[in-house]
Structure 1
Amino acid sequence: MVVSLVLKVKPQPHPATKLRPQLLKPLVFFSKYRYLCFPPTPRPPSAVIGAGIGGSSAAHFLRQQFGEGVKIDVYESKAVGGHFATANISGQEYEIGATTIHPLNLHTKEFVRMLGLKERKHPDNLLAVYDGEEFVFEESDWFIVNIIKLIWRYGFDILRMKMWVESYLHRFMKVYQYQTHGYSFTSLEKLLHEVGGDEFVQMTKHSIDEALQQIGISQRFMNEMVTPIMRLNYGQSVNINAFVGMTSLLAAESDLWTVDGGNKLICAGLLYSAKVNLIKGKVTSVNTKKRPLRNGEVITAYEVNYTAGPDTGYNMYDIVIVATPLHQGVSKITFQDLSQPIRTDCGQYQQKVVTLVEGRLNASYFGHRGPGRFRTTAIVTMEHSSTSILAANVLGPVTMAADYQIPPPTATCVWKVLSREPLAEQQLSRLFVSRSAMRETRWMAYPRYSPPEKVPPFLLHDRIYYLNAIEWAASTVEMIAVAAKNAALLSYHRWFQQLDRIDQDYLQQRLKVEL
C-alpha cells in the first residue's frame, strides 16, 4: 500500500515584490501628470496664403511634419485650385490651366494615389507647326512615319535633345531622395547646387538657346520645334533660361496623363485630408507683433490681415507660408514692421489668355485648301508667325469615357486657344468657320524669364516662407510641390532647431553614411 503525502505550502511573496506598490506609485503619478514636469512640445499655428497646388500641398506637408496638433489656416479669395482650373462650355467642364502631368512627377503622383483619384491618359493629338503661311511639319498617325520625317528634316537633333533633357532630369530626381530624408534649403540656388552642382545653378543664368547650341542643335530645329514648344508652355521664345526650357521640353513627351474629373480635385482633396480651416478671404498684409509668454519671455508672432467682402479680420500665427506670387501686378500683399524688408520686385509675370471656343476651325487659315485632308488637332506656331495665337488644340472634357476619341478637327469641337492678348472678334472670325460658345480667361500665369534670373529666397523672414521663388527656375506643378515640401521641412527644422537638416552640402555622401 502506497500512501502519497501532499504538503500544501502557502506561497511566500518574493521580498522584492513588497516594494512594487511603492515603486509603481511615482510611475503612475508621472504618467498621469507628466505634462506638468515636461510640457508637450508646442505645435505652431500656421497660415498658408493661397489654395492652388502650392498652398494645398504645403498644407498637406505641414500636417505631415507637425502632426495632428498643429492648427493650419489656408487663405484663398478665389476658387481652390489655382492653375488647376476649369471652365464650362455647353454643360461640360474643360481644363484651362495646367492640363497634363508628367509620369515622373512623383509628388503629384503620390497625391493622386493617396486621395484615391483616377489617372487618365491624355489623348494623343496630331501636332503641326505653323510658320504663318503653312505647316512646316505635320505629324502622322504612324509612329515610324513621324520618326522618318523628323530625321529627314532635322537629322538626329531630336535624339540629341532628348538625351540632353533626360541627363538633367535624372540628376534632378535626387531632390526626392533628399526630401525623403528630411533635408531642406533656404534658397533656390542652394537647392539646385546640391542637386546638380554649379551646372544646374548656371542653367538659370543663360538661355535654352545657348544651351542647345552647345550640344549641336541646328537652327532649323530651334526655330521649328524648340521655339514653338516654349511659346506653347510659357508664351515666350528661346531666350528663357535653360532650366525652365528643359522642363518645357519634358512637356512635349508622350505618356502624359491627367486626373479624371479635373486636376483641381488634387487641391481640394489635399486641403480636406490635411483638415485645414479654409478662410475665403484676400490677404492684404502680414505684420509682426510681440507676444509675451507666462515665463516672461517675449516672442514674435505674425498678424495676417485679410478682407472677406466688406468685412475685415486678422489672425495670429507662428509660421506663414506664402503660396502665391508676390511680384508686381500679381499680388498686393504688404509686409510691415519686419526686422528686415521683403523685396518682391525681382521681375514681372507674363500674361496668358486662354480662350475656349466651341466651333469649327477654318482650315484654310493655316494654308490647307482641302479641308477633308486636314487632320491636325494641335497647332503650335513659330516665333515670326503672322498669327496672333501661340497655340491651339482640340480639348476633351475633364470627365470622359474610357474609349473617348478626339473628334476630327473639321467637326464642331472645343478648341483651347492660347495667346498673349485677348483675341478680337475679327481674329476669331478668321480662325473659325462657325462658333456656338466661347469662354475667355486671363491670368498672370508664369514669370517673364530673362536670364540671368534674380531669384527671391525661400526664407523671406524668420518664419515666413515663399514657395513661388522656385518659379524663377521653372514654373511647373511639380516644381511648386517640391517647393511646398521644402517649405514644410524648413519650417519644421527651424522651429525645433534641427539645423543639421538645413542647407547641408555633400548630401550624397551623407546619405551613404546614414544608410
Structure 2
Amino acid sequence: MVRLLGPVWLWAAVALCQAGCILSWQEAFLLASSNVSECPSYSRPELRVAIIGAGASGTTAAYLLSQAQERLHEVHMRGLPGCEGAVWPERVHTTVYERDRVGGRVHHVHPLDDLQQAPVEMGASILSSANQHMLYATDKFGVKRVPPEQIPGGGYGLWNGKEVLIDQFTDTTWDQLRLYWRYGRSLSIVFQLMQRALTSFLQLYNPIFLQERSGPTAKSGFPWSSVKGLVRSLGLQDPSTVSTKNYYMTHKVSAAFVDEVINGVTRANYAQHVEHIHALAGMVSMAATDAFSMEGGNTQIFERMLAASGATVHTGIAGQVTGLMRMQGASSQWWVGTRDGRGSVFDAVIIATPWQSARITLLNTEHTVPMYEMQQVHVTLVATDAPRPSQAYFGYATTAQVPRTILTTQAPDGSVPEFLSLSYLRELHHVRHAGTTWDKLYLVKIFSLAPLSPQQLQRILPGRIVWTRYHAWSAYPQLTPPSQWPSFHVAQNLYNINAMERWVSTIETSTIAAKNTVASLLQNWLGAGFVLGQNCTWESASVAAHWDTWGCT
C-alpha cells in the first residue's frame, strides 16, 4: 500500500527538481564493475551521505565513513599515484536518521525495572570469537567482553513436548559417549562441515582475499554489488541454497540428529525449522563457540561507534524518513524527506532499516527495495523464586533435577512445544520489588512463537512469578533458501545494507554488510585506489585487524 506523504517536503523536492530534473519512471540504471575508476568520478567539495537507521549496520556505516575522512586527509597530503590533478572532496559529511533508538534490534532491559541491576539482552545477545569485527570494535572502544549469562551447573536438556531426548548434558566424556550412542558420527560430520564453511567465511577478514587487485577491481569482486557475488566468491553456494535438513542428510548426518539436535538449535537461534532454514544459517546457529556478550549491554558498542563517527543525528519525527526522491542529473542525488516536513539533498543514501516496516515511499525511480517476510519472536523475561523448571511439566520424577537450559524440537507426530527455548540466566540476591524483599530470585528468559500467558508461565515455572517483561519483535528474516539474492545497489547512489539479511542475520554480518556497502559507495565516488589501495603488501597469514580503515592500511 502506498503511503500518502505530507505535501511540505514533497513540494519542496519538486521545486528543487524543476531546475534540472525530469520525473521519469523509465530510469536507466547500470552499475558495472567495468566502469570502476581508479580516481574520483565527481568533483565536489563535500560528499554528503544519508544513512536511514541507527542499528548495528547503520552505526557501523557511519563510523566507516568517518574513517574515510581520515583517508581523505592522507590523500590530500600525499596524493594518490595516477590521480594527479584529480579533485578530491574536502570532507565526507554523514547524516543519520533514526526514528526510534540507537541499536535497532539490539535491545536490553533491567531486571525488576531496577537500574541497579545489570541489563539483560532481549535479543541479539550472543557473539562469537570468530566475529573479528566485533572483537576489534570492543577492544578499540573499550567495551569489556564477558561470557554469556548462564547459572553454572544447570545442565542442558532437549525436549519435544512429549519426552526429554537429552537430559542434563554438561559436555563431560560421559555426555559425549551418550551422544555417540544415540547419533553415531553425526556430530563429527556436522563439525567438519561447519569448519569447512567457517574457513570459507573467514576469508572476509583477510585483506589479501578482499583487496588483491586484478586491474581496476579486486580479484574477489569486493566490494560486491550483490549477495550472489559475495556468496560465490566465498564458495558457499551449496549450503546457502538448500535447506538445512537436505544439506545434512545429503552428507550422511543421521535424521535423528538433524530433527532433534540441529532443529532444537535452529529453533532457539532463528525460531525456524531445519526443513525451512537454509543450511548456512543452520550452521551459524551451531557455531557460537567461545561466545561472549558486552558488559553493560551490547547496544553501547553502536552508541560509541555513532558518537565516534561525528555524524549529524536526527531522531524522533525528525529522524523518521517518509520519502526518498531521486533528483535527475549527472550525479543522481537524492532528496530525503522526514515526518516533520523537512528534507535535505544527499549525494548518496544508505538504507539501513528493514524496508518492509520502514513506511518510506520511493519516488522518481522504477527501482524497488526488495522486501522479505520477517520472523516474529516473543521474548519473556521472568523473575521467579523457582530454582528450576517444573518437574511435572516436563515429566520428571519428583526427585529429579530439571535442566536449567532447555531447547525444544518437534515431536514425531508433528506437534511442537509451546516455547522455543528456556534459560536460567542469573541469580538475583537480596532484591526488593513491589514492596517485598527477596533473598534470592532467578532470572529466566523464554523465547516463543506466540505470547505466553501467566497461566502458561506458572505451569512451566512452579514457584512465585515476581516480575515479567514481554517483548515481541521482528527478529530476523525467514531464512528459506532463496530463489534469487538481492543486490546491495537499489539504484544509482542508493544502497541497501539489509540485502545481506536474507543470507545470514547476525550482529557481525551487519557490520560486514556495512563494510561492503560503504566500500561500494566510496569506490563509486572516490575510486578503487582510495578503497582497495595500490600495490599493497600484506603478510600471507594477515587478518584485517584494522577492518575500519581504507586502502593498504
TM-score by length of 2: 0.74
Matching residue's letter, 1:85? H
- The whole-number CA distance in structure 1 between the counterparts of 2:155 and 2:100 is 35
Deviations 1:383-412 (A, max 9, x none): 235421011111249x99xxxxxxxxxx73
- The whole-number CA distance in structure 2 between the counterparts of 1:234 and 1:269 is 27
1:312 Cα shift? 3.0
1:233 and 2:269 matched: yes
Residue 341 (structure 1) aligns with: 367
Residue 257 (structure 2) aligns with: 221
- Among 467, 474, 477, the residue aligned to 2:504: 474
1:168 Cα shift? 0.7
- The whole-number CA distance in structure 1 between the counterparts of 2:541 and 2:367 is 36
8 Å contact from structure 1 (residues 98, 477) kept in 2: yes
8 Å contact from structure 2 (residues 497, 514) kept in 1: yes
- Among 75, 82, 97, the residue aligned to 2:104: 82
- Among 63, 66, 72, the residue aligned to 1:63: 66
- The whole-number CA distance in structure 2 between the counterparts of 1:127 and 1:260 is 24
Matching residue's letter, 2:122? I
Matching residue's letter, 1:278? V
Residue 324 (structure 2) aligns with: 286
- The whole-number CA distance in structure 2 between the counterparts of 1:336 and 1:47 is 16
Residue 73 (structure 1) aligns with: 95
Residue 82 (structure 2) aligns with: none
Change in 2 beyond 3 A, CA 1:386/1:462: closer
- The whole-number CA distance in structure 2 between the counterparts of 1:261 and 1:500 is 37
- Among 280, 288, 296, the residue aligned to 1:261: 296
1:134 Cα shift? 2.8
1:209 and 2:245 matched: yes
8 Å contact from structure 2 (residues 98, 314) kept in 1: yes
Deviations 1:13-50 (A, max 9, x none): xxxxxxxxxxxxxxxxxxxxxxxxxx986441111111
1:127 Cα shift? 1.4
1:373 Cα shift? 3.5
1:283-432 paired onto structure 2 within 5 Å: 283-290=321-328, 299-307=331-339, 311-327=340-356, 330-338=357-365, 340-345=366-371, 347-359=372-384, 360=386, 361-370=389-398, 373-384=400-411, 385-396=415-426, 412-432=441-461
Change in 2 beyond 3 A, CA 1:453/1:471: farther
- The whole-number CA distance in structure 2 between the counterparts of 1:452 and 1:487 is 21
1:189 and 2:216 matched: no
- Among 140, 160, 180, the residue aligned to 2:189: 160
- Among 452, 465, 468, the residue aligned to 1:435: 465
Residue 274 (structure 1) aligns with: 309
1:500 Cα shift? 11
1:452 Cα shift? 3.1
Compare CA radii of gyration and give the structure with the larger one.
1
- The whole-number CA distance in structure 2 between the counterparts of 1:494 and 1:179 is 17
- The whole-number CA distance in structure 2 between the counterparts of 1:139 and 1:432 is 18
Residue 248 (structure 1) aligns with: 285
1:479 Cα shift? 1.1
Residue 525 (structure 2) aligns with: 495
Change in 2 beyond 3 A, CA 1:41/1:341: closer
Matching residue's letter, 1:483? A
- The whole-number CA distance in structure 1 between the counterparts of 2:95 and 2:272 is 36
Moved more, 424-433 or 107-116: 424-433
Residue 97 (structure 1) aligns with: 123
Change in 2 beyond 3 A, CA 1:421/1:391: same
8 Å contact from structure 2 (residues 380, 447) kept in 1: yes
Please give the secondary structure, in 2, of the residue aligned with 1:220: helix
Deviations 1:110-157 (A, max 9, x none): 111110111112245621101112321023446222212211211121
Matching residue's letter, 1:136? L
Residue 88 (structure 2) aligns with: none
- The whole-number CA distance in structure 2 between the counterparts of 1:160 and 1:489 is 37
1:447-466 paired onto structure 2 within 5 Å: 447-466=477-496
Matching residue's letter, 2:517? A
Change in 2 beyond 3 A, CA 1:499/1:337: farther
- The whole-number CA distance in structure 2 between the counterparts of 1:367 and 1:191 is 48
- The whole-number CA distance in structure 1 between the counterparts of 2:392 and 2:341 is 55
Matching residue's letter, 1:355? T
8 Å contact from structure 1 (residues 102, 257) kept in 2: yes
Q: Percent identity?
A: 26
8 Å contact from structure 2 (residues 161, 410) kept in 1: no
- Among 102, 124, 128, the residue aligned to 2:157: 128
- The whole-number CA distance in structure 2 between the counterparts of 1:220 and 1:227 is 10
Runs of 4+ in 1 over 4 A off after TM superposition: 179-182, 499-502
8 Å contact from structure 2 (residues 522, 531) kept in 1: no
- The whole-number CA distance in structure 2 between the counterparts of 1:121 and 1:368 is 30
1:45 and 2:73 matched: no
Please give the secondary structure, in 2, of the residue aligned with 1:437: strand
Deviations 1:183-203 (A, max 9, x none): 31100010111121xxx2243
Please give the secondary structure, in 1, of the residue aligned with 2:355: coil
Please give the secondary structure, in 2, of the residue aligned with 1:389: coil
Structure 2's unaligned 5+ residue stretches are: 1-41, 73-90, 213-217, 430-439, 533-537, 543-551
Structure 1's unaligned 5+ residue stretches are: 1-38, 292-297, 401-410, 503-507
8 Å contact from structure 2 (residues 138, 301) kept in 1: yes
Please give the secondary structure, in 1, of the residue aligned with 2:123: coil
1:290 Cα shift? 4.6
The aligned length equals 440
Matching residue's letter, 1:83? R
1:173 and 2:210 matched: no
1:488 Cα shift? 0.9
- The whole-number CA distance in structure 2 between the counterparts of 1:437 and 1:228 is 27
Please give the secondary structure, in 1, of the residue aligned with 2:443: strand
- The whole-number CA distance in structure 1 between the counterparts of 2:146 and 2:541 is 36
Deviations 1:328-376 (A, max 9, x none): xx221221112x321424x311101111111123232111232x64251
Matching residue's letter, 2:381? L
Please give the secondary structure, in 2, of the residue aligned with 1:102: coil
- Among 127, 134, 137, the residue aligned to 2:166: 137
Change in 2 beyond 3 A, CA 1:396/1:62: farther
Residue 117 (structure 1) aligns with: 143
1:497 Cα shift? 3.9
Deviations 1:159-189 (A, max 9, x none): 1101110111001111122446683110001
8 Å contact from structure 2 (residues 110, 120) kept in 1: yes
Deviations 1:72-123 (A, max 9, x none): 1111111211122102221132111111110010011111111011111224
Please give the secondary structure, in 1, of the residue aligned with 2:455: helix
1:265 Cα shift? 0.9
8 Å contact from structure 1 (residues 46, 319) kept in 2: yes
Deviations 1:36-65 (A, max 9, x none): xxx986441111111111111111111122
1:486 Cα shift? 0.3
Matching residue's letter, 1:283? V
Please give the secondary structure, in 2, of the residue aligned with 1:167: helix
